[in-house]
Amino acid sequence: MAKVTVVGAGNVGATCANVLAFKKVADTVVMLDVKQGVAEGKAIDMLQTVQTLGFETKVLGVTNDYAATADSDVIVVTSGIPRKPGMTREELIGTNANIVKSVVSQCLNYSPNAVFVIISNPMDTMTYLTLKATGLPKNKVIGMGGALDSSRFKYYLSAALQANPAEVEGLVIGGHGDTTMIPLKRLATYNGTPVAQLLAADALDKVVADTMVGGATLTGLLGTSAWYAPGAAGAYVVESIINDYQRLIPSCVYLEGEYGQNDICIGVPAIIGRNGVERIVDLNLSAEEQALFEKSADAVRKTNAVLTEIKAL
């Protein structure tokens, strides 16, 4: 009997919970929020689609009742303030660090064996904070950013190719930030054919540039952070854990020498299964890609350093 908790019933959290329920990933999905009535109301709203959408997942919404999350297999953390237009993910750290640290601690009191999927921004730093503040095994903490950034990369690739999105493959590694993510255009394919053979260099470069500001573009249009794709990406990671799908998903995970990095959580290809991070996959990056990865890691470390300054670690 699988159980998933989503902490934060805002746009992203509610979308994640809705996808999990509709796809019948877990028997029970719990939404928890600090604002009275929000999680409860959204749970009822979802349950009123049972007959029209045809699922039997139990959905429960609660306000600050962590006991209701007990024995969760996976806990998704979306808590914190969202981005506003012109705001970087990094600017959220002061507020969101304290929120995430408190949430994770309370969840662990009731679900000590859970795998944590972190969506809260700045995602790389919040993943690192979760790992360091709790002492959890490194396989139990996964940042969702790479799954989202890769889905955006594939969207822009399919648009440029005028192709079926289901036949396009692409990976984004590095930090989950507008200047730190690395869409791997060399490895992108359309039905097995390298995209570099199908698109002109300038068109492919535009795809990369559009991917990197994909979140900021939507924030500018919507006036707040996007939610459908982030929520679905979180659910995609959870599904791989609950069903032990062993999917290769670019994920923010803790490195101990992989890709030349230590003591950092950053996006790399990882096999995600029942134990969380099953293993990290080495892509044998080119010299150019490795240099970009090192630059990205340096930027993530600078954000991580703020955790010490604000005494979050």
pLDDT in tens, 175-211: 999 999 999 999 999 999 999 999 999 999 999 999 9
CATH, residue 17: 3.40.50.720
Measuring CA to CA, how many Å separate 13 from each of 233, 235, 313?
A: 11, 10, 26
Q: Are residues 141 and 151 in the same domain?
A: no
Would you say residue 164 has pLDDT above 70?
Answer: yes
* Cβ atoms within 10 Å, residue 67: 9
Choosing from 83, 114, 145, the residue where a domain stops is 145
Q: How far apart are the first and last CA of the chain?
A: 35
**How many residues are recorded in the chain?**
313
Choosing from 122, 145, 168, the residue where a domain stops is 145
Range of the domain at 247: 146-309
Least confident of 4-18, 89-103, 143-157: 89-103
Q: Are residues 276 and 128 in the same domain?
A: no
Q: Are residues 209 and 171 in the same domain?
A: yes
d(CA 95, CA 306): 12
Q: Are residues 11 and 72 in the same domain?
A: yes
pLDDT of residue 188: 98
Q: Are residues 201 and 236 in the same domain?
A: yes
Would you say residue 87 has pLDDT above 70?
Answer: no
* pTM score of the predicted model: 0.96
Would you say residue 110 has pLDDT above 80?
Answer: yes
Average pLDDT over residues 5-17: 98
pLDDT of residue 313: 87
Average pLDDT over residues 62-83: 94
Q: Are residues 118 and 200 in the same domain?
A: no
Average pLDDT over residues 252-258: 98
Q: Are residues 180 and 123 in the same domain?
A: no
Q: Are residues 77 and 198 in the same domain?
A: no
Alpha helical stretches, state H, the chain:
11-22, 38-47, 50-53, 93-110, 123-134, 145-161, 201-212, 214-222, 228-242, 287-309
Which of the residues are catalytic?
A: 176
d(CA 79, CA 185): 32
Count of structural domains, the chain: 2
pLDDT of residue 94: 81
Q: Are residues 157 and 228 in the same domain?
A: yes
pLDDT of residue 89: 63
Q: What is the DSSP letter of 112?
A: T
CATH, residue 204: 3.90.110.10
Choosing from 112, 145, 178, the residue where a domain stops is 145
Q: Are residues 125 and 154 in the same domain?
A: no
Q: Are residues 165 and 67 in the same domain?
A: no
pLDDT of residue 38: 98
Percent of the chain past pLDDT 70, that is, above it, reads: 98
The residue ranking higher by pLDDT, 71 or 81, is 71
Would you say residue 86 has pLDDT above 80?
Answer: no
The residue ranking higher by pLDDT, 309 or 245, is 245
Q: Are residues 174 and 201 in the same domain?
A: yes
User: Are 264 and 288 a contacting pair, CB within 8 Å?
Assistant: no
**Which residue type does 218 have?**
L
